[in-house]
């Protein structure tokens, strides 16, 4: 990177017909800081608007639950299922817009990786396969995940309807779009993943079947909200919060996933790299990067993720055409004003994991103590 030239991430870009001030997005990050009933708080509105005033062109919210059945993943996770949720999300979208950024809400169904759901005490997934690993203490869990119940056709329809209703609510709350969370090991990724999806119906078997639920979610949202200026993005990943080693079969399988979602009406693809740097998960068996395969196979805008606070890597990715937009998680937490710092040539703060300890919440743990005393 030429130290004198402006960083390429600062250039504006058009994402699905709308202009972003630059190519820097805040990655979705669960902060378990809503009220117990899933209503976002004023502190959350301040937290999100700080990224916009810090120069990010796009702010993607944390994974937000979509129904009053099995979608909630953690206690204090925000929801988008009630009129009160819609009202309380409005200032979040407005604050982000006031700072000059676009706002996208990530819609999430936790499936088998739910570790806190006030509506249900059991979990569901594509098949009754115990999840790998252990629940995550920073989101209030401990011990092994329970084995989920295999979803029936009715369960699947309920989950799809939840995503559609949640997208309608997100639009009502003033968001510019939604991002369907099909990454990191949660419900839609459980369907995509061969070892958690042992179904023998039309949702199991070859990858074209395993991606079906995600593509149906996208199609059904698009059918309900045909407006072209409301984005429906999809987030995908090879790795998972409970399995950093998983990789897809290769470039051919990746192309099937991406083209199916493009045909379903996705406006952008966001490729996450949970627990790993982009370069660790990017190279597929044919030598191409997963983000470049997504771009080539679909022509859609692609957001790349994983260690983009390494500004040299970030520049290289854009210059070599691997992606159009870069999303930052830890780098944004450490530097809510990262784009302004990059523009000004200022030093970046290093991410310190203590920010998320003992809980990943905005107040670190205060609200969990309230829950303990009310229990
Ligand atoms: C505290 C925290 C919460 C996260 N929650 C989510 C989430 O709700 N949805 C999601 O798709 N990814 C989530 N992630 C993953 C990030 O979006 C991102 O993929 C990961 O941090 C790697 O990017 P980075 O190297 O820029 O941090 C979370 C990450 C962190 C650090």
Closest C-alpha to 317, from 296, 339, 342, 292: 292
- The Cβ of residue 185 has, within 10 Å, a number of other Cβ atoms equal to 24
| Cβ atoms of residues 20 and 96 within 8 Å | no
| Cβ atoms of residues 69 and 162 within 8 Å | yes
Q: Class assignment of domain 8-374?
A: alpha beta
Closest C-alpha to 14, from 202, 228, 173, 189: 228
pLDDT of 374 reads 45
| Alpha carbons 57 and 20: distance in angstroms, whole number | 5
What is the residue with the minimal CA distance to atom 1 of ligand 1? 29
Single pTM value for the model: 0.97
Low-confidence ranges of the chain (pLDDT < 70): 1-4, 365, 367-375
Pocket test for ligand 1, best of 25, 29, 336, 360 (most atoms within 8 A of CB): 29
Whether residue 195 lies in the annotated active site: no
Cα(273) to centroid(ligand 1), Å: 9
pLDDT of 375 reads 38
Q: What is the residue whose two structure tokens read 């997208």?
A: 167
Per-domain residue ranges of the chain: 8-374
Pocket test for ligand 1, best of 63, 329, 334 (most atoms within 8 A of CB): 329
What are the pocket residues of ligand 1 if the criterion is a CB atom closer than 6 Å to any ligand atom? 27-30, 62-63, 106, 181, 183-184, 235, 272-274, 305-308, 328-331, 356, 360
| Cβ atoms of residues 66 and 108 within 8 Å | yes
At 328 the three-state DSSP class reads strand
229: tokens are: 């200026």
pLDDT of 16 reads 86
């Amino acid at each position: 990177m030429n130290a004198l030239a402006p960083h390429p991430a600062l250039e504006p870009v058009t994402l699905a017909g709308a202009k972003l001030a630059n190519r820097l997005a805040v990655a979705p990050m669960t902060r378990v800081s809503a009220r117990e009933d899933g209503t976002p708080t004023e502190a959350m509105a301040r937290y999100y608007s700080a990224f916009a005033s810090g120069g990010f062109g796009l702010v993607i919210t944390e994974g937000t639950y979509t129904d009053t059945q099995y979608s909630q993943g953690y206690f204090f996770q925000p929801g988008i299922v009630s009129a009160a949720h819609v009202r309380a999300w409005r200032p979040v979208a407005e604050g982000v817009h006031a700072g000059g950024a676009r706002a996208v809400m990530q819609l999430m169904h936790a499936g088998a990786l739910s570790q806190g759901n006030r509506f249900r005490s059991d979990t569901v997934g594509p098949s009754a396969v115990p999840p790998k690993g252990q629940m995550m203490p920073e989101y209030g869990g401990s011990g092994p995940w329970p084995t989920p119940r295999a979803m029936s056709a009715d369960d699947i329809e309920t989950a799809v309807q939840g995503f559609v209703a949640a997208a309608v609510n997100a639009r009502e709350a003033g968001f510019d779009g939604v991002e369907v969370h099909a990454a990191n090991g949660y419900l839609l990724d459980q369907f995509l993943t061969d070892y958690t999806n042992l179904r023998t119906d039309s949702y199991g078997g070859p990858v074209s079947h395993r991606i079906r639920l995600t593509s149906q979610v996208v199609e059904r949202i698009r059918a309900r909200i045909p407006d072209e200026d409301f984005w429906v993005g999809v987030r995908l990943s090879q790795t998972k919060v409970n399995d950093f080693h998983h990789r897809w079969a290769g470039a051919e399988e990746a192309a099937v996933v991406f083209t199916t979602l493009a045909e379903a009406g996705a406006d952008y693809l966001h490729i996450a790299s949970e627990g790993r740097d982009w370069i660790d998960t990017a190279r597929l068996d044919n030598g191409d990067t997963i983000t470049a395969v997504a771009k080539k196979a679909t022509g859609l805008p692609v957001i790349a993720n994983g260690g983009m606070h390494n500004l040299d890597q970030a520049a290289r990715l854009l210059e070599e055409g691997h992606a159009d937009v870069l999303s930052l998680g830890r780098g944004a937490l450490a530097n809510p004003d990262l784009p302004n710092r990059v523009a000004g040539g200022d030093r970046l703060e290093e991410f310190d994991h203590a920010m998320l300890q003992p809980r990943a919440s905005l107040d670190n743990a205060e609200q969990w103590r309230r829950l303990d005393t009310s229990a």
